[in-house]
Structure 1
């Protein structure tokens, strides 16, 4: 264990033990994820194996409050009547910077991806099933105003890119998205969405699909979550095709969760938006991931 992990574990365990409400109830185990202001731990709560998410620094209290609400809300919405599930919130202590949720069965969808090969045939349909249940239980259909589109596209302002080639690609994506925007008018399905929907945030087993690490605080446009999923999937494996740059097999499962024609009408715009957003990651993405994104961008521009 790294020194930073050891220090975090020691300090957090001491704070837990000193608290009258949770002292002697929680024992921290291995660290699963460690970032400067966030860590995820195996632990036991009243003798049961659970997951603990801990935040430190400014904003930790509100972060724990917000995420606890999202976890509870998604679990309540999804319920237990379908394979699509959300982990149950077991304990929330914003004042101590952490919350605990149940340890879910399954394997991360990312772990089931084979780099540079097609996704396993069941993966994308399972992801679409999970999102489809969430959409079915919370969706509403309405118009989105021209102000929305203006705000979305104006948010794609230029920022400092790593080189001229990236800038040219960025500009070409933006122009293509604006062309697709002309055909995007019409009814739009909104629902509770994930907010960071990708295979790494799904735990998949034979019987269940659990969504984890929710980011969306409000309802959102479903197709945007789908576009984000496709961009993230392309970053890890083979998805190339002629449908907006993707193979039909990774798009088709999502058509059935939306009204007829909606995915094909809106996806070209939101793929462009998500591609543009992805350039913000270039400095932390591997060269191979950047190249996969660039290859997709070229397909998107020419489709």
Structure 2
């Protein structure tokens, strides 16, 4: 749980009371902040509350009345809920209420583990492999929501970002990352302009945004949903694999456990190029690693563990042709 300031508590209380009145429930008692944005801690958070014998998640964005961010997400959830409704294995959290102020909306709270919980913590490799398989199937369903388009791959933004981050890391780190960046630049020359698939993408498809339901995988947090290359959603999910312990020979050139990558792709049917996926995975892991070496940022024990894991995977990935 995350503590709330007095101002945040009073704001959340107003929002909770508004929702309770909307559904005709008795005044809600205690509620808890279960999520606070890392990048926008003062304006974005999620409140868990009980009302009318149901448990709900109330998502707040203080700036949303001006940006339209939550209304756009609520509209996506509304359309996607209808689209996923006939599906047996895939779903999204269902929209319940959007405040007229657009500062918050409400969905049911699903008390189930996320894919990240299991990928990070399960000791059962077979169970985790099935999570990857089900996640790939869910993403395949999402990417089928609209007809796909062909779009040319433009990777320069990744190498530019790596170069920018690389300038701000300790010399010992730069000595390694310079070599990795040169490899990526050489590969990029052959991939630039390659035909790839553009879809309505989740936009932030990390493993904490997929709930492992009873028989269904349930997606949430569609604030970054937009048209983009399908491969970027695949990368966002697969990069969680760095938290799995695995023998050296199990890691392929993308930096991911090969068996887990294959399981994810088993039920993903949209076309993509494997060389583009591998390039993007290595670039994304390198971006994440360098981001955790920036001198002007405080790092937690979790960040330090992730930094170590990313470095280990990158060293293995760039040893392989």
For normalisation by structure 1, the TM-score amounts to 0.83
**1:218 equivalent in alignment to 2:218:** no
Structure 2 unpaired stretches of 5+? none
CA displacement at 1:69 relative to structure 2? 2.7
Paired with 1:109 and 1:163, the residues of 2 have a C-alpha distance of 33
Equivalent residue for 1:301?
318
1:107 Cα deviation (Å)? 1.6
Of 157, 170, 173, 1:166 maps to: 173
Aligned to 2:99: 93
Match of 1:241 in 2: 251
Deviation at 1:193, TM superposition (A): 1.7
Deviation at 1:37, TM superposition (A): 1.8
Q: Name the one with the larger strand percent.
A: 1
| Distance in structure 1 (CA, Å) of the matches to 2:223 and 2:138 | 16
Cross-structure match for 2:73: 67
Q: What's the offset of the Cα at 1:208?
A: 0.6
Is 2:151–2:229's contact at 8 Å kept on the other side of the alignment? Answer: no
After superposition, the CA RMSD in angstroms is 3.1
Equivalent position SS for 2:88: coil
Alignment of 1:52-131 (within 5 A): 52-57=58-63, 62-93=68-99, 95=101, 97-104=103-110, 106-115=112-121, 118=125, 120-131=128-139
Q: Any idea what the Cα deviations from partners look like across 1:182-203, whole Å, max 9, x if unmatched?
A: 4435431221222221221111
Residues 286 and 208 from structure 1, CA distance in 2 versus in 1: closer, same or farther, beyond 3 angstroms?
Answer: same
Instruction: State how 1:245-260 maps to structure 2 within 5 Å.
Output: 245-256=255-266, 257-258=268-269
Deviation of the 1:297 alpha carbon? 1.2
Contact 2:72 2:223 in 1 (8 A): no
Unaligned runs of 5+ in 1: none
Whether the aligned pair in 1 keeps the contact of 2:201 and 2:228 (CA below 8 Å) is yes
Q: Is the 8 A contact 1:180 1:268 kept in 2?
A: no
**SS of equivalent to 1:192:** strand
What CA deviation, in whole Å up to 9, does each residue of 1:129-179 have, x standing for no partner?
A: 11111123335141416xx33444434441353412222333333222223
Distance between the aligned counterparts of 1:41 and 1:223, measured in 2? 32
Corresponding residue of 1:187: 195
Structure 1 distance, partners of 2:121, 2:52, is 40
Task: State the number of aligned residues.
Answer: 299
1:206 is aligned to 214
**SS of 2:199 mapped into structure 1:** strand
Q: 1:280 aligns with which of 291, 309, 313?
A: 291
| SS of 1:229 mapped into structure 2 | helix
Runs of 4+ residues deviating >6 angstroms: 18-21
Q: Give 1:125 deviation, angstroms.
A: 0.7
Q: Is the 8 A contact 2:129 2:260 kept in 1?
A: no
Q: Secondary structure at the match of 1:158?
A: helix
Contact (CA 8 Å) 1:60, 1:97: kept in 2 or not? no
Distance 1:131 1:96, change over 3 A: closer
Aligned to 2:204: 196
Asked if 2 retains the 8 angstrom alpha-carbon contact of 1:135 and 1:222, the reply is yes
